[in-house]
């Protein structure tokens, strides 16, 4: 809620818009009778509009709320020294054929002036929004708003300009904190502590779209938990107008609390089409406090490679549910290895929180502090086990980008091919194959030398060039080892087995192989 003034009265926030429809006064005559008498009248009287009764009309207005929160919202401008680019030489008249945004960029480039050394120029990077969250001068905005800036200027609601210093950023959630010289008169707002935000709730967005500071738009929450490109947060979707320059600004509920930080729009044109995205307050609260206290965000680290379950993988690990995160790999020396996590485990709960999928586990772990001791429940070989793990600190440099899942590695044909009924052709793994596939010399297994198009194996995700190293938690050094594992699983009534797969690009992960694959061998 806003600080510095009394709380808004709930009655003011719950005003209803009553639409009064005026009626024509026709003196009891029907339209038909009027038309029939039209020729007999010298001049028909024009119908009069009834004046609405003021006592029946109340205006839905956010004016009181806007008056309370607007002083806490600021505009942000950024500048940086950038290298002068070579002047672009275009044929005469070609400018008229360029889109407006390219013409503007070309004109700006041609107007650049070099500094005395001829190396760079001072140039504006962009603009955005932000808001004060305490009386110490701390301002919340988006990380991308101030990315690369050498100088950050904050424009207050009254037009005053202040130079801001960067306290810290968290690109993973696109949040940043700035600081200006505090003022005892500066108004500020707070993040909502409520967790009952629902689709359909009214919200207000205040910000600096297209440099028009102090702009206010209204709308509703149109969706919750929208997927984002961050592993640590989902978005709130709102239909209040969000445009360029709104980034970093607040979304308010009708109590004057910040429920989200506007961060992105979804639009084919680059302008507002009614789909704005905001970082939820419950995520922003923790991130902002860490940035203020430490200047950076630290997240817990477990040390596992994980994936989500599908129906095939669920059958292979012995469960009817696709809930949970499948442990694809365990990092040597990691907290997970020390706690006893194994490849093929399915993490069902972590820190007493149910794990829905791989993303869910990532967010649970990332929200916990390093050094915390937590309980985990895993499914292993059809039985549930409880593990205790002490989280370590995540190193941002350890983040890996997954390779294209559809990328296939070419593998040479082998002389000892074995065709399986699921559409796989397997062969022994040679030293030459290891080198070609970029695998370590100590990798042992069988090579997928071919996959039949449209086969069950292809649908399960198997690709040529993969190496199968384990099946049903047993090492696979030959095709016979794989067949034995499949046959043993079939006798136990399993429909599929969990197969550990290794590639030179993606590392190790798991796929589900149907037990019928051994029938044709």
Task: State the number of CA atoms in the 13 A half-sphere of 358 facing the CB.
Answer: 14
Residue appearing with tokens 């194994």: 342
The one catalytic residue among 129, 143, 144, 239 = 144
Residues contacting 57, CB < 8 A, separation 6+: 18, 20
Report the distance separating Cα 148 and Cα 81, nearest Å. 9
* 452 marked as binding residue: no
433 tagged catalytic: no
The burial class, CB within 10 Å (0-12 / 13-18 / 19+), for 392 is middle
* 208 marked as binding residue: no
Distances (CA, A) of 425 to 163, 270, 446: 66, 49, 10
Give which of 6, 63, 329 is closest to 187, Cα–Cα: 6
Give which of 230, 204, 77, 80 is closest to 139, Cα–Cα: 77
Report the distance separating Cα 466 and Cα 405, nearest Å. 12
360 tagged catalytic: no
* 428 marked as binding residue: no
The one catalytic residue among 129, 218, 230, 247 = 247
Distances (CA, A) of 122 to 66, 126, 162, 245, 341: 36, 13, 19, 20, 53
Alpha-carbon dihedral sign for residues 278, 282, 286, 292: positive
Both structure tokens of 395: 């190193």
* 135 marked as binding residue: no
144 tagged catalytic: yes
Q: Return the HEC string of 393-455.
A: ECCHHHCCCCCCCCCCCCCCCCCCCEECCCCEEEEECCHHHHHHHCCCCCCCCEEEEEECCCC
The one catalytic residue among 174, 239, 472, 481 = 174
Residue appearing with tokens 């001072």: 122
* 245 marked as binding residue: yes
Both structure tokens of 484: 């034995």
* 247 marked as binding residue: yes
Give which of 155, 130, 146, 171 is closest to 261, Cα–Cα: 130
Q: Which residues are annotated as a binding site?
A: 79, 144, 174, 245-247
Binding residues for substrate: 79, 144, 174, 245-247
Which residue numbers are catalytic? 144, 174, 247
């Amino acid at each position: 809620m806003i600080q510095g003034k009394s709380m808004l009265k709930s009655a003011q926030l719950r005003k209803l818009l009553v639409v009064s429809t005026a009626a024509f006064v026709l003196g009891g005559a029907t339209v038909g009778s009027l038309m029939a008498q039209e020729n007999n009248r010298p001049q028909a009287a024009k119908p009069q509009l009834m004046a609405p009764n003021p006592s029946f009309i109340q205006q839905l207005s956010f004016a009181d709320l806007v008056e309370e929160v607007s002083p806490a919202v600021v505009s942000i401008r950024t500048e940086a020294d950038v290298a002068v680019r070579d002047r672009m030489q275009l044929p005469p008249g070609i400018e008229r054929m360029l889109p407006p945004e390219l013409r503007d960029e070309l004109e700006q480039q041609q107007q650049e002036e070099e500094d005395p050394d001829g190396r760079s120029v001072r140039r504006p990077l962009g603009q955005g929004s932000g808001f004060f969250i305490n009386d110490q001068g701390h301002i919340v905005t988006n990380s991308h708003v101030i990315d690369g800036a050498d100088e950050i200027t904050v424009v207050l609601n009254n037009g005053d300009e202040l130079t801001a210093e960067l306290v810290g950023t968290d690109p993973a959630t696109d949040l940043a904190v700035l600081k200006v010289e505090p003022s005892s008169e500066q108004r500020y707002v707070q993040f909502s502590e409520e967790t009952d935000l629902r689709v359909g709730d009214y919200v207000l967005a205040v910000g600096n779209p297209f440099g028009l500071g102090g702009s206010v738009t209204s709308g509703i929450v149109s969706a919750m938990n929208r997927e984002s490109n961050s592993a640590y947060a989902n978005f709130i979707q709102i239909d209040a107008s969000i445009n360029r320059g709104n980034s970093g600004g607040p979304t308010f509920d009708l109590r004057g609390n910040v429920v989200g930080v506007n961060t992105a729009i979804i639009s084919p044109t680059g302008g507002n089409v009614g789909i704005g995205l905001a970082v939820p307050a419950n995520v922003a609260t923790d991130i902002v406090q860490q940035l203020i206290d430490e200047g950076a965000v630290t997240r817990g680290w477990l040390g596992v490679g994980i994936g989500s379950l599908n129906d095939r993988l669920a059958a292979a690990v012995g469960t009817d549910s696709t809930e949970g995160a499948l442990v694809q790999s365990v990092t040597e020396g990691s907290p997970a290895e020390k706690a006893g996590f194994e490849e093929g485990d399915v993490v069902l709960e972590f820190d007493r929180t149910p794990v829905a999928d791989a993303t869910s586990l990532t967010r649970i772990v990332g929200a916990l502090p390093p050094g915390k001791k937590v309980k985990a429940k895993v499914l292993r070989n059809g039985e549930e086990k409880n593990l205790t793990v002490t989280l370590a600190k995540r190193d941002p440099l350890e983040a890996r980008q997954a390779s294209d899942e559809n990328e296939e590695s070419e593998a040479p044909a082998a002389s000892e091919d074995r065709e399986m009924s699921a559409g796989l052709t397997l062969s022994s793994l040679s030293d030459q194959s290891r080198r070609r596939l970029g695998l370590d010399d100590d990798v042992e297994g069988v090579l997928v030398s071919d996959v039949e198009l449209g086969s069950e194996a292809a649908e399960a995700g198997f690709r040529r060039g993969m190496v199968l190293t384990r099946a049903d938690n047993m090492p696979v050094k030959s095709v016979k080892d794989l067949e034995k594992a499949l046959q043993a699983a079939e006798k136990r009534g399993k429909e599929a087995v969990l197969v550990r797969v290794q590639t030179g690009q993606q590392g190790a992960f798991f796929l589900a192989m149907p037990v019928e694959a051994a029938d044709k061998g």
